[in-house]
Structure 1
Amino acid sequence: MGNINNQTENTLEQKYNKWIWILSVTVPLLVALLFGVNLRKLGYDVEPLSFLPPIYATINGITAVVLVIAVWAIKNGKRTLHENLMKFAILLSVLFLGMYVAYHMTSDSTKFGGEGAIKYIYYFILISHILLSIIIIPFVLITYVKALSQRFDKHRKIARIAFPMWLYVAVTGVIVYVMISPYYAH
């Protein structure tokens, strides 16, 4: 019986592994491509969605809080709460991504106006945030699939890497917004 369950779990993981890698490659490429597409510059009469940055920064902040509560939940034996919070965190990340792309497709990029050391700090945070936001995609998806497959030993092992990375991305998303918000065109 145990062998059949292992085969089912491995089949489930194999089924999802293809999608994990497809999403892990296509999402960053699609975001990069769409980031460079400005509908207004292409002649489309669209209003800039300039109201979105504080909303998606707030979503990042909420994601960070949800992640911390989810870890607390699992450490306190509240598995269903943990599972629901993690699904919510994934949903929040998808919402963030949609709003982020929509904003950049309808608005001109904002240049950071700070000088001196603060400029280097900003770019360090921004670049590390961007790189880890790409790297975190397969980690989150693999961790999620391990839980779906009920391979909780592997799930925990990967989650120990994924959690701090995802938390860093969520928190630095808020920091980047706070640092650049004074330079948004009003």
Structure 2
Amino acid sequence: MAKAKPVNKAAVATGQIRLIGGLWRGRKLPVLDSVGLRPTGDRIKETLFNWLMFDIRQAHCLDLFAGSGSLGFEALSRGAAQVVLVEKSPQVATQLRQNLASLPAAPATVHQQDALQFLQGIAQPFDVVFLDPPFHQQLLSDVCQLLEAGGWLAPNAKIYIEREQLAPILPANWQLLKNKQAGQVSYQLYQREVVS
């Protein structure tokens, strides 16, 4: 009798996210138990998508540190024209692809790639960008500068940032629209202003 293979705990879907609005409202999607993975909570997500109520339909969205896919999948459910999910972990990216396959004809793609490497590629402008990087790695300042300088943002793009307390250095033409805090998490919505 063959011995059962040990299960890689880092690649087991033990959690879930819930889509809270739109086409797939109430749908639950599995999430891996992976180190550093922190899906955006429903309360924060509801606040964010209230902020984006008039911006998300038909928007081209980039979920740069996709993780659970909570923000990207919510954007799809609410009518985004396209969502690009970027995730460094191969196991987490595989789970994202499986979840995407369960959403009929969802206009999205998953890139298993480091966010900074992804931003070195050929840019396409996005209307909405979600930035929820791993905490304590000081990635935001570099990522924000690359987004602005590299042609990744539409003229009046909205940029959502979820972060720990330490504030990143942001491009001067990003205007703060909304700012909230929940426990140790700060979250903001910015709008890119066109520099003439």
Shorter-chain TM-score category? Answer: under 0.3
Higher relative contact order (CA 8 A, sep 6+): 1
For normalisation by structure 2, the TM-score amounts to 0.21
Structure (1/2) with the larger strand percentage: 2
Larger Rg: 1
Q: Please identify which structure carries the higher helix content.
A: 1
